[in-house]
Amino acid sequence: MNKLLKKIITFAFLIIINMQIFGQGSWDPNPWDVYWFTDMVHSLQWLDEHPWFDPPGGGTGSGNGDLPSGPDITYVNIMTYNLWRESALFWKHKDVINGSDADVVALQEVLTSSNFNNLKQNTGMAGNFLYKHSGVFALHYGISILWKTSKVGTPKIFQCEGHTDGYPSSYIVAEFVSFCFVCVHYSHDNQQAREANSQSILINGHINSCKNKGKPVYIAGDFNCGPPSAPINKLKNSPGNFIVLNDVTYFNGKYNHATKKNGTMIDLILEHNNNPNKSNPPLWRGTPSSFPSSWLGKCWCCERWWCLCPNHVSDHKPYLVKLKIK
């Protein structure tokens, strides 16, 4: 279909939907909520980058060679960071990543591949991007992995777009010379979907191949559930045998290393590593100093009006672990 026609149809659909949701059937959107406008803008940008009704995917980036290449390393720094898809403060995200000393980063809610490419360029890291949803009414963001080629080499990338029990479970697997890395973003509001995500990882042939080679496997991302939950327990129990690397100390109703303002910890890093020489616990773990606590939050009036709250960079804290893997 002609791209201009796609845009016109998308624009018309979104006007009708937003009239019903925000204007009760008339063109009268809530003046404090600009979802109706930004959804249309993001939809048009998304159509420039991704075809209609494809499976989740449309990924871009490097690292798709036949075999991973690069150094065989002993130490690695791993981080997960949900950018908050409404935030346009990508220059601050760049500062967070560059200041964290992370070698590999799992990113969630990366708003369009254009922003991913901008972030990749400004961090000087290589990377791979995968749209999380598909279709004309998709959420226009994805997940991605960034890595320092000079430190960890170039991975073999697998963009996993399968479904388990009818639920989407898109994630990225990156096999490096010394370890494997999985970037995930679990369902926000569906417990069955989250458990299906975990099941999909457990049966994934690429991940199990890494395990069979004796490579450590790390899963990092926004799980939308805490350490003591069914989706995480599914990964921790046999045959997964993953462990949570976050500090799970819990006191007075909050995690000491909470990654959300309400005291919860849903941004996790898990490890499967049978090497007896690994660090246990991690050499260091927590939110990097490049993300000040004052940057955590959403705008007081409307989460999309980031310009009114320039210091609210994300509603998630990044989480970093420094590891000896063998």
**Distance, CA of 257 to CA of 255 (rounded, Å):** 5
Same domain membership, residue 163 and residue 36 = no
Identify whether 316 is part of a domain. Answer: yes
Query: Does 139 have pLDDT greater than 60?
Result: no
Same domain membership, residue 126 and residue 25 = no
179 and 160 in contact (C-beta within 8 Å)? no
Same domain membership, residue 226 and residue 127 = yes
Total of domains in the chain: 2
CA 92 remoteness from chain centre: 17
User: Can you give the pLDDT at residue 103?
Assistant: 98
User: Can you give the pLDDT at residue 85?
Assistant: 65
Same domain membership, residue 13 and residue 145 = no
What lies within 8 Å, CB to CB, of 312 at 6+ separation is 87, 295, 296, 297, 298, 299, 306
Question: What domain range includes position 10?
Answer: 3-49
Same domain membership, residue 18 and residue 43 = yes
Identify whether 54 is part of a domain. Answer: no
Considering only 113-122, 136-145, 256-265, 270-279, which range has the smallest mean pLDDT? 136-145
Query: Does 52 have pLDDT greater than 50?
Result: no
pTM: 0.81
Query: Tell me: the pLDDT tens digits for 149-194?
Result: 999 999 999 988 766 566 667 899 999 999 999 999 998 888 988 9
Average pLDDT over residues 56-85: 77
Query: Tell me: the pLDDT tens digits for 203-230?
Result: 999 999 999 999 999 999 999 999 999 9
Q: Are strands 167-168 and 171-175 parallel, antiparallel or unpaired?
A: unpaired
Q: Check residues 5 and 2 and name the one with the higher pLDDT.
A: 5
Same domain membership, residue 83 and residue 25 = no
Same domain membership, residue 132 and residue 35 = no
246 and 319 in contact (C-beta within 8 Å)? yes
Identify whether 127 is part of a domain. Answer: yes
Identify whether 67 is part of a domain. Answer: yes
Same domain membership, residue 110 and residue 244 = yes
CA nearest neighbour of 183 among 116, 263, 280, 88: 116
203 DSSP assignment: T
Tokens 């369902």 belong to residue: 187
Q: What would you report as the CA-atom Rg of the chain, rounded to the nearest whole angstrom?
A: 20
Cβ-based neighbour number of residue 211 at 10 Å: 17
Q: Check residues 50 and 93 and name the one with the higher pLDDT.
A: 93
Same domain membership, residue 152 and residue 31 = no
Reading the block at residue 223, the tokens are 């799980």
128 and 159 in contact (C-beta within 8 Å)? yes
User: Can you give the pLDDT at residue 21?
Assistant: 42
**Distance, CA of 264 to CA of 320 (rounded, Å):** 16
User: Can you give the pLDDT at residue 211?
Assistant: 97
Question: Which residues pair with residue 171 across a beta bridge?
Answer: 160
Distances (CA, A) of 61 to 69, 130, 182: 16, 9, 16
Same domain membership, residue 314 and residue 175 = yes
User: Can you give the pLDDT at residue 137?
Assistant: 41
Same domain membership, residue 121 and residue 37 = no
**Distance, CA of 275 to CA of 282 (rounded, Å):** 14
User: Can you give the pLDDT at residue 3?
Assistant: 57
Give me the helix-helix angle, 112-123 and 35-49, nearest 10°: 80
Same domain membership, residue 165 and residue 236 = yes
Identify whether 55 is part of a domain. Answer: no
Q: What is the CATH number of the domain that holds 281?
A: 3.60.10.10
User: Can you give the pLDDT at residue 14?
Assistant: 55
Cβ-based neighbour number of residue 323 at 10 Å: 26
